[in-house]
Amino acid sequence: MGKNLVFLPIVAAVIAIQLLTAWTDSVYYLTQLTMSAYYSLLIVGLCVLMGYAGQISLGHAGFFAIGGYISAALTTHNLIPFVDQLPVRLLTALGCLQGGLDIYGDPLLVVTPWVACMIAILTALIIAFLLGIPVLKLKGHYLAMATLGFGIIIYRIVLASEYFGEADGISGVPGFQLVPGLLVSGDKSWRVPNYYIAWTVLILAVVLLRHLINSRVGRALRAIHGSPEAADAMGVDTAKFKLQTFMLSAVFSALAGVLLTHYNGGIGPSEASVMKSVRYVAIVAVGGMANIWGALVMGMVLNFLSLRGFFGSYDDAVFGLILIGIMLFAPEGILSLQLGRLWRRIPLFRRKTPAVKEV
Amino acid sequence: MTILQVEQLGKRFGGLQAVDDVSFSLRQGAIKAVIGPNGAGKTTLFNLIAGMLEPTTGEISFQGKAIQGMRPFRVAGLGIARTFQNIKMFAGMTALENVMVGRHVRSKAGFLASMFRTSGCRREEKAIRVKSLEFLDFLGIADCADTLATNLAFGQQRAVELARALALEPALLLLDEPAAGLNIYETAEIGRLIVRIRELGITVLLVEHDMSLVMDISDEIVVLSFGRKIAEDIPTVVQRDPEVIKVYLGE
Please write the tens of the pLDDT for every residue from B202-230: 999 999 888 889 999 999 999 999 999 99
Work out the burial of residue A290: count CB atoms within 10 Å of its CB; fewer than 13 is exposed, 13-18 middle, 19 or more buried.
Answer: buried
Q: What residue numbers bound the domain in which A51 lies? A: 25-349
Best of B49, B99, B115, B173 to disrupt the A interface (most A CBs within 10 Å) is B115
- Give the single-character DSSP code of B41: S
Q: Regarding beta strands B31-35 and B220-225, do their DSSP bridges make them parallel or antiparallel, or are they unpaired? A: parallel
In a domain, B53, yes or no: yes
Number of domains in chain B: 1
Neighboring chain B residues of A218 at a CB cutoff of 8 Å: 114
**Domain containing residue B190: CATH number:** 3.40.50.300
Rounded Cα gap, residues B19 and B22, in angstroms: 7
What's the gap in Å between the CA of B81 and the closest CA on chain A?
Answer: 7
In a domain, B107, yes or no: no
Chain B CB within 8 Å of residue A229 CB: yes
Read off the pLDDT of each residue in A119-135 and give the average, rounded to a whole number. Answer: 94
Number of domains in chain A: 1
**What is the pLDDT, as a whole number, of residue B158?**
92
Q: Is the per-residue pLDDT at A359 higher than 80?
A: no
Chain B CB within 8 Å of residue A125 CB: no
Inter-chain residue contact A217 with B111, CB threshold 8 Å: yes
Q: What is the ipTM of this complex?
A: 0.91
Q: Is the per-residue pLDDT at B249 higher than 80?
A: no
In a domain, B131, yes or no: no
Inter-chain residue contact B73 with A236, CB threshold 8 Å: yes
Rounded Cα gap, residues B2 and A84, in angstroms: 72
* B27 phi/psi in degrees, rounded to 5: -80, 140
**What is the pLDDT, as a whole number, of residue A337?**
65
Neighboring chain A residues of B121 at a CB cutoff of 8 Å: 215-216
Q: Is the per-residue pLDDT at A341 higher than 80?
A: no
In a domain, A32, yes or no: yes
In a domain, A210, yes or no: yes
In a domain, B142, yes or no: no
Inter-chain residue contact B117 with A219, CB threshold 8 Å: no
Neighboring chain B residues of A230 at a CB cutoff of 8 Å: 84, 88-90
Q: Is the per-residue pLDDT at A263 higher than 60?
A: yes
Inter-chain residue contact A233 with B115, CB threshold 8 Å: no
Q: pLDDT confidence of A153, banded at 50, 70, 90?
A: very high
Chain A CB within 8 Å of residue B90 CB: yes
Q: What residue numbers bound the domain in which B10 lies? A: 2-79+170-249
Q: Is the per-residue pLDDT at B171 higher than 50?
A: yes
pTM: 0.89
Q: pLDDT confidence of B64, banded at 50, 70, 90?
A: very high
**What is the pLDDT, as a whole number, of residue B192?**
93
CB-based contacts of A164: which residues, under 8 Å, 6+ apart?
Answer: A69, A73, A157, A158, A170
Strand partners, B153: none
Neighboring chain B residues of A235 at a CB cutoff of 8 Å: 73, 76-77, 104-105, 168
In a domain, A332, yes or no: yes
CA angle at B217 for the pair B212 and B223, rounded to the nearest 5° = 70
